[in-house]
Chain A
Amino acid sequence: MTRLAVPKTYKLYLGGKFPRSESGRVYAIQSHDGEFLANAAKASRKDARDAVVAARSALGGWAGATAYNRGQVLYRIAELLEGRRAQFTAEIVQSEGVSVAVAAAQVDEAIDRWVWYAGWADKYLQVAGNANPVSGPYFNLSVPEPTGVVAIIAPQTGGSLLGLVSAVAPALVSGNTVVVVANETMPLSAISLGEVLATSDVPGGVVNVLTGSPAEMAPWLASHADVNALDLVGAGDLDWIHLEIDAAETLTRVLQPENGPDAASPSLARILAFTETKTIWHTKGLI
Chain B
Amino acid sequence: MTTSHSVMAQLNTGERALALIGGEATDANLRRYLHGIPGIDAVGLEQRAADLGTRSIKTSSKKWAIDKIISLIDLTTLEGADTPGKVKSLVGKALTPDAGDLSCPRVAAVCVYGDMVKHAVAALGSAHSRGTDAGVRVAAVATAFPSGRASLAVKLADVRDAVDAGADEIDMVIDRGAFLSGRFAQVYDEIVAVKQNCRRPDGSAAHLKVILETGELNTYDNVRRASWLAILAGADFIKTSTGKVPVAATLPVTLSMLEVVRDWHRLTGAKVGVKPAGGIRTSKDATKYLVTVAETVGEEWLSPGLFRFGASSLLNDVLMQRQKMTSGHYSGPDYVTMD
Mark A residues whose CB is within 8 Å of B.
Answer: 49, 52, 56, 220, 223-227, 246, 249
Q: Which residues of A contact B331 (CB under 8 A)?
A: 225-226
Contact residues of B between 300 and 339, Cβ < 8 Å to A: 323, 328-335
CA distance A121 to B323 in the complex (A): 37
CA distance A52 to B333 in the complex (A): 12
Give B193 Cβ to nearest chain A Cβ, in Å.
46
- Does the CB pair A56–B332 fall under 8 Å? yes
Contact of B335 among A52, A56, A220, A225 (CB under 8 A): A225
Give A105 Cβ to nearest chain B Cβ, in Å.
40
The chain A residue sitting closest to B332, CB to CB, is A226
Q: Which residues of B contact A227 (CB under 8 A)?
A: 332
14 A-B pairs in the complex with CB atoms less than 8 angstroms apart? A52-B330, A56-B333, A220-B329, A223-B328, A223-B329, A223-B330, A224-B329, A224-B332, A225-B323, A225-B330, A226-B330, A226-B332, A226-B334, A227-B332
CA distance A49 to B331 in the complex (A): 10
Q: Which residues of A contact B328 (CB under 8 A)?
A: 223
CA distance A225 to B334 in the complex (A): 8
Mark B residues whose CB is within 8 Å of A.
Answer: 323, 328-335
Give B330 Cβ to nearest chain A Cβ, in Å.
4
Q: Which residues of A contact B333 (CB under 8 A)?
A: 56, 226
Give B48 Cβ to nearest chain A Cβ, in Å.
24
Most B CB atoms within 10 A — which of A49, A224, A249? A224
CA distance A224 to B331 in the complex (A): 6
Q: Which residues of B contact A224 (CB under 8 A)?
A: 329-330, 332
CA distance A110 to B109 in the complex (A): 57
- Does the CB pair A49–B330 fall under 8 Å? yes
Give B267 Cβ to nearest chain A Cβ, in Å.
43
CA distance A224 to B320 in the complex (A): 11
Give A3 Cβ to nearest chain B Cβ, in Å.
40
CA distance A56 to B332 in the complex (A): 10
CA distance A246 to B328 in the complex (A): 11
CA distance A56 to B333 in the complex (A): 10
Contact of A220 among B323, B330, B334 (CB under 8 A): B330
Most A CB atoms within 10 A — which of B323, B329, B333? B329
CA distance A56 to B335 in the complex (A): 14
CA distance A171 to B331 in the complex (A): 22
Give B282 Cβ to nearest chain A Cβ, in Å.
11
Q: Which residues of B contact A226 (CB under 8 A)?
A: 330-334
Q: Which 3 A-B pairs have the closest CB atoms?
A: A226-B332, A223-B329, A225-B332
CA distance A225 to B319 in the complex (A): 13
Q: Which residues of A contact B335 (CB under 8 A)?
A: 225
The chain A residue sitting closest to B323, CB to CB, is A225
CA distance A249 to B328 in the complex (A): 12
CA distance A223 to B331 in the complex (A): 9
The chain B residue sitting closest to A219, CB to CB, is B329
Most B CB atoms within 10 A — which of A49, A223, A225? A225
CA distance A100 to B1 in the complex (A): 82
Give B103 Cβ to nearest chain A Cβ, in Å.
19
CA distance A49 to B284 in the complex (A): 14
Give A79 Cβ to nearest chain B Cβ, in Å.
35
CA distance A220 to B334 in the complex (A): 17
Q: Which residues of B contact A49 (CB under 8 A)?
A: 330
CA distance A223 to B332 in the complex (A): 11
CA distance A129 to B318 in the complex (A): 40
The chain B residue sitting closest to A46, CB to CB, is B330
Q: Which residues of A contact B323 (CB under 8 A)?
A: 225
Most A CB atoms within 10 A — which of B329, B330, B332, B335? B330
The chain B residue sitting closest to A49, CB to CB, is B330
Give A19 Cβ to nearest chain B Cβ, in Å.
16
Give A239 Cβ to nearest chain B Cβ, in Å.
16
CA distance A49 to B282 in the complex (A): 14
Beyond the given pairs A49-B330, A249-B329, 9 more chain A to chain B contacts, judged by CB atoms under 8 angstroms and listed by A's residue number, are: A52-B330, A56-B332, A223-B328, A224-B330, A224-B332, A225-B323, A225-B334, A226-B330, A226-B331
Q: Which residues of A contact B329 (CB under 8 A)?
A: 220, 223-225, 246, 249
Give B281 Cβ to nearest chain A Cβ, in Å.
12
Q: Which residues of B contact A246 (CB under 8 A)?
A: 329
Q: Which residues of B contact A52 (CB under 8 A)?
A: 330, 332
CA distance A220 to B330 in the complex (A): 7
Q: Which residues of A contact B332 (CB under 8 A)?
A: 52, 56, 224-227
CA distance A226 to B334 in the complex (A): 7
CA distance A225 to B320 in the complex (A): 10
Give B317 Cβ to nearest chain A Cβ, in Å.
11
Q: Which residues of A contact B330 (CB under 8 A)?
A: 49, 52, 220, 223-226
Give A129 Cβ to nearest chain B Cβ, in Å.
25
Give B331 Cβ to nearest chain A Cβ, in Å.
5
The chain B residue sitting closest to A149, CB to CB, is B332
CA distance A223 to B333 in the complex (A): 15
Give A106 Cβ to nearest chain B Cβ, in Å.
35
CA distance A249 to B332 in the complex (A): 13
CA distance A49 to B328 in the complex (A): 13
CA distance A226 to B332 in the complex (A): 4
Give A244 Cβ to nearest chain B Cβ, in Å.
14
The chain A residue sitting closest to B329, CB to CB, is A223
Give B283 Cβ to nearest chain A Cβ, in Å.
13
Give B320 Cβ to nearest chain A Cβ, in Å.
9
Give B13 Cβ to nearest chain A Cβ, in Å.
47
CA distance A103 to B333 in the complex (A): 43
Give A176 Cβ to nearest chain B Cβ, in Å.
15
CA distance A46 to B328 in the complex (A): 13
